[in-house]
Structure 1
Amino acid sequence: MNARWQGARRILCVRLDDMGDVLMTTPAIRALKAARPDRHITLLTSPAGAAVAKLVPDVDAVIVFDAPWMKGDAQRAIASANDTAVEALLRAGDYDAAVIFTVYSQSALPAAYFCYRAGIPLRLAHCRENPYALLTDWVAESEPGETIRHEVRRQLDLVAAVGCPGDSQRMSFAVHDQACREVRQMLGELGLDFGRPWVLLHAGASAPSRRYPPPLFAQAVRLLAEAGCQIVLAGSADEVDDVETIQRMADVPTLSLAGRLDLAGLGAAILLADVVICNTSGPAQIAAAIGTPLVELYALTNPQHTPWMVRHTLLFHDVPCRFCYRSICPQGHHDCLRRVDPLEVAEAARALLPFGLRWMIGEIAAPRAPVTTLPTKRTVLPRDTASCVGSAS
């Protein structure tokens, strides 16, 4: 390992994007931790990233920052004007090093400036332009001109540059046994027969361009039900109406956990399921981290976010405007998803059912072993410098 980085015990990892981006960074975070077992990792991340960070074993503490230079509207920028508080928290953290994780379309320099002002002596990031003193360890940006890597690979390559290659590329997401018990009880009360195959369908996504239309999901649900599969629908509280629309249009027996699960519960439901069907979204990354077979309705917005190290089927319709990197379809037709036949969705899910772990090992009660404990993390909410510490539990 790089001698300077070998001595770094307290490391700040910066990943200011959403939940899925944090999950795709977990192999690199684990590589940092593995290089020095006594290392303490703090994650500076968005509110959505902080929610999933509680379930990442290698993250010891979290600082929440809705950074105004990240994607969002003007209201978000105004509401997150707490730069001074964040800088004070970083200075108080007495960090030895900072690793700034970005996608290639983002600049690491605003975060690097924070870390520089906070006095963090080592600062690593990809950067397109010369960062001068803002970075002590500058990895020249090679994307998209020379290559385009999966997001997991990109971040692993970054930490390998300072001698932390890691020995595992799997994403991390810990599922509590208590969460599994609670979700199993919910499903039992809803009438799920655990002796029969069942599919978990999550129809949400943070960007409209990545959402398969509810009427087409409904057709896929109907086909699966007619083939003898049980279907459980999930979604956030904001997605309950969409789930109810799918149920109404499918007009077959289905069960719904929409609006009833926190992130830990969603992870438990994904672990218990035989197959997951979802859009390109955080739940897709959770399924990949846990190892549940996955059918992903893959909007051709970004080639770097395909399922990582999990048995899966990607469904999409190829279009000339592929890889637009847009949250709203710039052409207005959504053909990359809208033209995927629901029959393909149903058949892909049925084809993956034999690979659900509980069917391969014949254990209906425990498809994938949950963890029994997870250390409580310290979460920092930088509203002000006087009262900003809270529990992550």
Structure 2
Amino acid sequence: MKHVLATRLDNDGDVLLAGPALRALAAGADRVTLLCGPRGRQAAHLLPGVDEVIVWRAPWIDPDGHPVEREDVDALVARIAALNVDRALIFGSFHQSPLPTALLLRLAGVPWIGATSVDFPGSLLDLRHLIDDDVHEVERSLDLVRAAGFTPPADDRLQVIREPYELEPGYVVVHPGASVPVRAWSPQRNRELVALLDRPVVVTGGPNETELTAYVAGERGLDLGGRTSLAELASVIEQADAIVVGNTGPAHLAAAVQTPVVSLFAPTVPAVRWRPWKVPHELLYIDVPCAGCRARTCPVPGHPCLEGVTPETVADAVDRLARKAVPA
């Protein structure tokens, strides 16, 4: 197999979870190109086995509601056509139809396309794969590549390329932000946790979260908000004894560097699909009747599924999972 195109068009965390499947493609092909969305660009560049990354905002995936422009679509079709790929595999979650992507790939002349699809694909798919919805996203992707004739890697843990970022060891990372608001513990709860932990604390976040990270760090935590690339953040997390984080990208980054995860996991989506993959972790949340709602912002006053978790509960979980004992 000479050239395989893979697509995963959503967030950094979703792209990271496709990593083992992409390594399987790389082992069976001369070249792997990954088509991802702008929210997954950083993670795409960290994945071993990916030779080229193409970034395109898919209007059926991106939540910001950008208009569909024919010129933009035509340009993507032309670019994919120029790749001369032999096969394409479309990766996505159970709630995402692969068929809009498959239509564009057909227009680009891709000769063979495979995807997991509950929708009837007509002539859009050569491989229409089916799998139970209640499997982890990593398993979902690996099962697709297996059905397409590729061999999953013997080590199917997540892997990422890292850039050095030196810090004194013995700290815990607290990452208060999340790509989806409903998945975030409140700033006040995070700030209380930083004050409560009897370990050094590093607070991390993206460039648009610097006000949040400064507030959460307070006088005690080291604020790295907006000061690291994703590859550097992987290094910061790798050196930590544990990380406290919601169901968001850095939880999967922690799994890739094998740092224990205390996961404030809002049960808006099933944990069986999205929990940290093959790394020591604890899921902390309050079981609520509205679990599985898939909301982006919580419509229930007080956000009880996460706000009901106390800082003391989280601190106890850190002590259970952290790789080193509490410093004297």
| TM-score, normalising length: structure 1 | 0.78
Determine which of 288, 303, 309 is the counterpart of 2:255. Answer: 288
* Residues in 2 aligned to 1:98 and 1:234: alpha-carbon distance in whole angstroms: 36
> What is the 5 A alignment of 1:41-120?
41-74=32-65, 76-78=66-68, 82-120=72-110
| Aligned residue number for residue 335 of structure 1 | 304
* Residues in 2 aligned to 1:243 and 1:255: alpha-carbon distance in whole angstroms: 9
Query: Is 2:136 the partner of 1:150?
Result: yes
* Residues in 2 aligned to 1:141 and 1:116: alpha-carbon distance in whole angstroms: 24
Determine which of 139, 145, 148 is the counterpart of 1:162. Answer: 148
CA 118–332 in structure 1, closer or farther in 2 if over 3 Å, else same? farther
In the alignment, is the contact (CA less than 8 A) between 2:204 and 2:223 conserved in 1? yes
* Residues in 2 aligned to 1:95 and 1:281: alpha-carbon distance in whole angstroms: 32
Q: Which has the larger radius of gyration?
A: 1
> What is the 5 A alignment of 1:200-349?
200-224=173-197, 227=198, 229-248=199-218, 252-303=219-270, 304-349=273-318
Q: Cα offset for 1:346?
A: 0.9
**CA deviation digits over 1:271-315, x for unaligned, max 9?**
111111111110011000110111111111112110100011111
Q: Count how many residue pairs are aligned between Structure 1 and Structure 2.
A: 322
For residue 33 of structure 1, what is the amino acid of its counterpart?
A: A
Q: Cα offset for 1:73?
A: 2.8
For residue 51 of structure 1, what is the amino acid of its counterpart?
A: Q
For residue 18 of structure 1, what is the amino acid of its counterpart?
A: N
In the alignment, is the contact (CA less than 8 A) between 1:284 and 1:296 conserved in 2? yes
In the alignment, is the contact (CA less than 8 A) between 1:104 and 1:141 conserved in 2? no
Q: Cα offset for 1:21?
A: 0.4
| Aligned residue number for residue 385 of structure 1 | none
**CA deviation digits over 1:90-123, x for unaligned, max 9?**
0000000000011111111110011111111110
Give me the CA root mean square deviation.
1.7
* Residues in 2 aligned to 1:83 and 1:316: alpha-carbon distance in whole angstroms: 41
| Aligned residue number for residue 27 of structure 1 | 20
Runs of 4+ with >6 A deviation: none
* Residues in 2 aligned to 1:338 and 1:174: alpha-carbon distance in whole angstroms: 34
In the alignment, is the contact (CA less than 8 A) between 2:194 and 2:220 conserved in 1? no
For residue 252 of structure 2, what is the amino acid of its counterpart?
A: Q
* Residues in 1 aligned to 2:70 and 2:158: alpha-carbon distance in whole angstroms: 29
For residue 56 of structure 1, what is the amino acid of its counterpart?
A: L
**CA deviation digits over 1:24-64, x for unaligned, max 9?**
11111112222x2x521100001121211111111110110
Q: Cα offset for 1:333?
A: 3.5
Q: Cα offset for 1:352?
A: 1.7
* Residues in 2 aligned to 1:102 and 1:256: alpha-carbon distance in whole angstroms: 34
SS of alignment partner, residue 110 of structure 1: helix
Q: Cα offset for 1:79?
A: 7.5
CA 330–132 in structure 1, closer or farther in 2 if over 3 Å, else same? same
| Aligned residue number for residue 390 of structure 1 | none
**CA deviation digits over 1:145-165, x for unaligned, max 9?**
xxx111111111111112224
* Residues in 2 aligned to 1:314 and 1:325: alpha-carbon distance in whole angstroms: 18
Q: Cα offset for 1:260?
A: 0.8
* Residues in 1 aligned to 2:71 and 2:310: alpha-carbon distance in whole angstroms: 45
* Residues in 2 aligned to 1:10 and 1:327: alpha-carbon distance in whole angstroms: 37
In the alignment, is the contact (CA less than 8 A) between 1:128 and 1:141 conserved in 2? no
In the alignment, is the contact (CA less than 8 A) between 1:26 and 1:171 conserved in 2? yes
Q: Cα offset for 1:218?
A: 1.3
* Residues in 2 aligned to 1:58 and 1:337: alpha-carbon distance in whole angstroms: 37
| TM-score, normalising length: structure 2 | 0.93
CA 332–164 in structure 1, closer or farther in 2 if over 3 Å, else same? farther
SS of alignment partner, residue 244 of structure 2: strand
* Residues in 2 aligned to 1:159 and 1:243: alpha-carbon distance in whole angstroms: 39
Aligned-pair identity in percent equals 38
For residue 336 of structure 1, what is the amino acid of its counterpart?
A: C
* Residues in 2 aligned to 1:69 and 1:78: alpha-carbon distance in whole angstroms: 9
Q: Cα offset for 1:332?
A: 4.1
| Aligned residue number for residue 136 of structure 1 | 126
**CA deviation digits over 1:123-153, x for unaligned, max 9?**
000112221211011113643xxxx111111
